């Protein structure tokens, strides 16, 4: 339910123990490799800068990606806004969106970004449950020019930071890495 507070009365209303208060929905849960960021707003900060945002839509069920793409020198070379490549990014990158009506349990709703130049996947995220998103592939650079690598087992930024199995509570804010 999207109502911030909804009270459902059960039985006699004079008795406070018989009132069930439904809590509002919490934020998104992001799985980055084997790491979990709970109750996020969908923003991922890498090395202190917001670099990507994941959003969900309930009707129809969809996953949206907004992301800045950088090269190994930290120069911005591309931009994606809600699954749409900017005009100068189209020649360099591809984006593939799998909608809910095309999805299967083995192949869920997802967004995949590929490199036309290198010929490999740069980023992939899939909607596992309505509010749970798994980043399954990452092979892109931060604004400082450090390589971000995401595999099913870890998330690594450059050679200085590797996260394995960390769980963080974001309290409605961004998932901060690095």
pLDDT score, position 157: 95
Q: What is the pLDDT of residues 110-144, one digit of tens each?
A: 999 999 998 999 999 999 988 999 999 999 999 99
What is the rounded distance in angstroms from the CA atom of residue 168 to the CA atom of residue 151? 18
- β strands within 11-146, DSSP E: 19-22, 28-32, 35-40, 43-46, 49-57, 62-70, 76-81, 84-85, 93-98, 110-115, 121-129, 132-141
Residue identified by tokens 């980023």 is 123
Q: Taking 90 as the threshold, does the pLDDT of residue 160 lie above it?
A: no
Q: What is the pLDDT of residues 51-106, one digit of tens each?
A: 999 999 888 889 999 999 999 999 999 999 999 999 888 999 999 999 877 767 77
Q: What is the pLDDT of residues 10-42, one digit of tens each?
A: 555 555 555 444 545 579 999 999 999 999 999
What pLDDT band is residue 1 in, cutting at 50, 70 and 90?
A: very low
Residues 61, 74: Cα–Cα separation, whole Å: 34
Residues of the chain above pLDDT 90, percent = 67
* pLDDT value for 7: 46
């Amino acid at each position: 339910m999207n109502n911030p507070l909804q009270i459902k009365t059960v039985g006699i209303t004079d008795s406070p123990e018989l009132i069930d208060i439904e809590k509002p929905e919490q934020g998104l849960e992001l799985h980055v490799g084997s790491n979990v960021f709970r109750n996020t707003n969908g923003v991922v900060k890498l090395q202190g800068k917001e670099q990507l945002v994941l959003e969900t839509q309930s009707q129809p069920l969809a996953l949206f990606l907004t992301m800045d793409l950088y090269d190994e020198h930290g120069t911005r070379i591309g931009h994606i806004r809600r699954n749409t490549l900017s005009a100068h990014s189209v020649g360099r990158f591809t984006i593939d969106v799998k909608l809910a009506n095309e999805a299967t349990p083995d192949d869920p709703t997802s967004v995949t970004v590929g490199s036309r130049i290198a010929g490999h996947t740069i980023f992939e995220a899939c909607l596992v449950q309505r509010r749970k998103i798994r980043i399954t592939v990452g092979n892109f650079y931060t604004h400082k020019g450090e390589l971000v690598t995401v595999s099913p087992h870890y998330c690594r930024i450059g050679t200085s930071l590797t996260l394995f199995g960390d769980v963080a509570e974001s309290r409605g804010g961004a998932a901060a890495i690095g």
